[in-house]
Amino acid sequence: MNGADKIDWRNVRIDIEKLTEYLLSVTHPRGRSKAAYFYTLGFDLSNAADFIAALVKQASNGVASILEETTYGQLMKVEGIIIAPNARRAIIRSVWLVKPGERNPRLITAYPLKRRFEK
């Protein structure tokens, strides 16, 4: 696989536990600051399905590039807009793993970029 052009960004994998136990967890040591940010956008545990849909759309429409090759596969980043339940349009980076021989990325993490909101 030679990069983002061969990846099926419309069929990404997002484990619900990645959201409930990490990205939207206010008690996770590394996830709680991300949860606080995503909560300000209107995402929380009660609308995790909406968060999944927004992340899929961000991955499909954002700018993807390879971060690094690992023994587990390619780490990819996608930078782009996520549309929140409160109608804000925030600019985030999502990070995905594409295992060798696969085309469907698996979500690793997501976080705001320095310029957090679209102007």
pTM, two decimal places: 0.89
pLDDT digits (tens, 9 = 90+) for 18-62: 999 999 999 999 999 999 999 999 999 999 999 999 999 999 999
Ordered DSSP codes for 25-58? -SSSTTTHHHHHHHHHTT--GGGHHHHHHHHHHH
Q: Is the dihedral of CA 13, 57, 22, 75 positive or negative?
A: positive
| Closest alpha carbon to 3 in 80, 73, 95, 65 | 65
pLDDT digits (tens, 9 = 90+) for 52-97: 999 999 999 999 999 999 999 999 999 999 999 999 999 999 999 9
- Check residue 2 and give its pLDDT: 45
How far is the C-alpha of 32 from the C-alpha of 119, rounded, in Å? 26
CA 93 distance to own-chain centroid: 7
